[in-house]
Amino acid sequence: MANFKQPPIVRHEALAPLSRDHYVGLVQARHLILAADEDDVARRKAVEEFIDVWEREIAVHFRDEERLLFTLMDEKDRQRLLDEHARLTELATKVCAQRRQIDPDPLTLREFGQSLEQHIRWEERELFSRIQDRMNPSRLDELQKQTAMTETSRPRTVCRTRTDADRSGA
């Protein structure tokens, strides 16, 4: 078995859809970081892929987190979430502007990729755990209904729902 730096995170199903969303963000972050060290063709391709995913999934995910989790956070976490979402949105706008560049700026791609990755790691390792630990069972049940509706209401580029086979361990 692999030795991981972080132990596996046990996520309540109420927050699991938002955690599953993070996979797409981490993939895009990694693609942009790696593309920053590649040629202009690879950078343009990474920017094109990112723009599509940003508009269809990541920006929507930010709005869902703010809408669903805002009242469940303390003031410090609320402010950090809003500040980081605003900064990432600003950086995403810069990345999107790179679409018109013959040679997208590697520093912009790397900065956004690293910032997005750090933000997702904070949410997963700290924010979601605090929210989950503070919530009572009835609030978790209500949040689970809301996140399940949100997850099924949007088109997805990858499967993010657990199948019956996943649940049974098959």
pLDDT one-digit tens code per residue, 16-35: 999 999 999 999 999 999 99
Question: Taking residues 133-156, what's their average pLDDT?
Answer: 88
Q: Which residues of 17-50 are buried (b: 16+ CB within 10 A; e: fewer)?
A: bbbbbbebbbebbebbbebbeeeeebbbebbeeb
How much is the pLDDT for 156?
60
Tell if the pTM clears 0.95, that is, is over it: no
- Is residue 62 within 8 A of residue 88, CB to CB? The reply is yes
Backbone angles phi, psi at 151, to 5 degrees: -65, -40
Let me know: does 37 contact 73? Beta carbons within 8 Å: no
Which residues are CB-contacts of 109 (< 8 A; sequence separation ≥ 6)? 32, 33, 35, 36, 43, 46, 47, 95, 98
Q: What does the block give as tokens for 41?
A: 């063709």
pLDDT band for 155, please (50, 70, 90 cuts).
low
Q: What is the mean pLDDT of residues 61-84?
A: 97
- Check residue 8 and give its pLDDT: 74
Q: Contact at 8 Å (CB) between 101 and 70?
A: no
pLDDT confidence of residue 102? 87
pLDDT for residue 18? 95
Statement: residue 79 has pLDDT above 70:
yes
Banded model confidence at residue 4, pLDDT cuts 50, 70, 90 = low
When comparing pLDDT for 156 and 14, which is higher? 14
Domain parsing of the chain, residue ranges: 16-155
CA distance 126 to 6: 12
pLDDT one-digit tens code per residue, 104-131? 999 999 999 999 999 999 999 999 999 9
